[in-house]
Amino acid sequence: MRKYKELVNNPPEISVPKVCREVIFGVVFEIGDITNLIRFKKNVEGDFVISGGGLLFKNYRGNYERFELEWAADEGEWDYVMRLINSGPMQIDYVRFR
């Protein structure tokens, strides 16, 4: 729980460009400082789809629906995506994109 609290108290400065084809957030869960990846990747239609890095999306227990994250990502609203992710039982540690 130490890493999670550190991220809550001192969140990293993270920015994502509006145009990218894949974004991966490294997250830390509140319980046990468990880490995981949330991957946003564009499908053949050009829309972002979420992959939970092995965990089912419903296990994230956030205050949002999957489509809210995907639609915001489609619009390039990464600040909103990050706010939603951080509003649940996890905090973003880092981001990678291409």
Tens of pLDDT, residue by residue over 42-90, are 999 999 999 876 555 555 666 788 899 999 999 999 999 999 999 888 8
Percent of the chain at pLDDT > 70 equals 89
**What pLDDT sits at residue 3?**
94
> Between helices 66-74 and 78-86, what is the axis angle to 10°?
160
3-state class (DSSP) for residue 60: helix
Q: How far apart are CA 30 and CA 77, in angstroms?
A: 25
- Residues paired with 42 in a beta bridge: 48
**What pLDDT sits at residue 65?**
83
3-state class (DSSP) for residue 38: strand
Q: How far apart are CA 66 and CA 79, in angstroms?
A: 16
- What are the boundaries of each domain within the chain? 2-97
Mean pLDDT of 17-43: 92
